[in-house]
Amino acid sequence: MSVRRVAVFVGVALFAGGILPAFFASPGHAQFDTPTGLQAVPTSSGAGGAAAVSTSQDPPSLQAGNASRPSGAAAASGSPSPQPQSLSSQSLPSQRARPQAGGVQSSGGGGGELPSGAGQIYDTLDLRPYTGYLTKHDRPHQAIVDWILRDTGTDMWFTEPFGFLNANRDSLTVYHTPEIHSVVRGVVDKFVAGSKDPQTIGLRVMTVGSPNWRARAVPLMEHVNVGSPGVQAWLVTKENTAVLLSLLRQRSDAKEVQAIDIALYNGQSENLTSTRRRNYVRNIRSAPTGWPPYEPELGEVEEGYKLEISPLLNTDGTTLDCVIQAEIDQVEQLVPVELDLPLPNGQMHRTRIEVPQVISWRLHERFRWPMDRVLVLSCGVVASPDRAQAAVPFLNLEPLTGQTAGRADALLFVEFKGPAAANLPLGPRTASPNVGFSRGRY
């Protein structure tokens, strides 16, 4: 055999074994069954194995066919053909592990065990002895969580050492150090082992025009330190409370705004609200009708007081923990501002807007005192929680002068009166408009 014939034979063999199958297997060309004994050689992967990844542009039939064909070298050597292998998720960009919701990706470590380096322990407490009585409350266990957070604070549940607190209507689950478990169990015992009947809390709101009422009342009261600036608190016996109220009622500048007995379950919260809305001219805008050229744009501000109270009885029935939150807002004055606006004829149109001058006061304190005493709080000379209404509506000059009721020394009396069944009937003893009651969280 001559050298030319050998070269031609080798060329034909290479052409038939490599180029033609690769040509017919390329995208856009019809595929034919490979002759027996003739196998297509898959393209070898380059650096990083990128060539071995099928892209989404290849037809699905070609991706499956190319991945399942054995190599020609394996067939030629007689060794068994390698089984088809699925592509790993690391080599498929579209199937790589995606971050979880919020962009946080799990590390996959930990072995399913909770951190316990600080001696944390897991415990579940039964809440049904308390929540079973509150069938008309949607989330009675929320009050337990709120009181736990008041004793422990919120930061410790989101910092080291690791811990968590979870509650439902039947149970409370806690994972933390033994010291925190002791605090949590102490709070839960006040609910579970405490009184299941509704208790009566007497609330009385009064205003006094001058703070000199203290001159005769101080000998009747025991002063208590308060953290909120400007707030004073006293503990008064029930006998001295009656004497104090008699002294205040003799004053011409004293007024009893609200007096009411509230029945609520141990640890739950109650809201007392008396507010009203006042309108004022906040802006002047062009009238869409063309005449008059301008029209006032009215605004609205709410004034009055909001009071929230959450009492918790101790298990021994001698002391009362109470969280009191009060808000007072009053429009002290509507300050007028004159405006000169141009008219189409070149003249000026004079009008005015109003800027509300609001005085506000806030209180959020926790008190603990014996249940046979009355807590008296003075907010200082602040915005009066009550607005005196004119006896004759036509003589009410507030809309013209912009002036409102002045300031006063606001007093709050909080008294525990025992089980609600022994204090019926309940209800306000003085009428007050726009008063609403609702259970709240804080």
What is the arithmetic mean of pLDDT over 272-296?
89
Over residues 296-323, the pLDDT tens digits come to: 999 999 988 899 999 999 988 889 999 9
The whole-number pLDDT of residue 66 equals 40
Residue 201, CB half-sphere, CA atoms under 13 Å: how many? 27
Residue 6 has pLDDT above 70, yes or no: no
Q: What percent of the chain has a predicted confidence (pLDDT) above 90?
A: 44
* Least trusted range by pLDDT, from 29-38, 281-290, 331-340: 29-38
Q: Is the pLDDT of residue 89 over 60?
A: no
The number of C-alpha atoms within 13 Å of 236 and in the hemisphere containing its C-beta is: 23
Contacting residues for 370 by C-beta, under 8 A, at least 6 apart: 235, 318, 319, 320
In this structure, the number of other CB atoms found within 10 A of the CB of residue 412 comes to 24
Check pLDDT > 80 for residue 392. no
Q: Could you identify the residue written with the tokens 């909001």? A: 306
- 31 vs 380, residue with greater confidence: 380
The pLDDT, as a whole number, for residue 362 is: 87
257-271 tens-digit pLDDT: 889 999 999 999 998
How far is the first Cα of the chain from the last one, in angstroms, to the nearest whole number? 103
Structure tokens at 282: 């906040």
* Stronger pLDDT, 177 or 432, i.e. the higher one: 177
Chain centroid to CA 87: 46
Q: In a 10 Å sphere around its CB, with 0-12 CB exposed, 13-18 middle and 19+ buried, how is residue 101 labelled?
A: exposed
pLDDT band with cut points at 50, 70 and 90 for residue 361: confident
- Per-residue model confidence (pLDDT) at position 425: 55
Residue with the bigger pLDDT between 53 and 351: it is 351
pLDDT for 227 equals 84
Q: Tell me the one-letter amino acid at 307.
A: L
Residue whose entry in the numeric block shows the structure tokens 């016996």: 237
Identify the pLDDT of residue 84: 33
Confidence check: pLDDT of 103 > 50: no
Count of Cβ atoms closer than 10 Å to residue 258 Cβ: 21
Residues 244-269 have a mean pLDDT of: 92
Give the rounded percent of residues in the chain with a pLDDT score beyond 70: 65
The predicted pLDDT at position 360 comes to 84
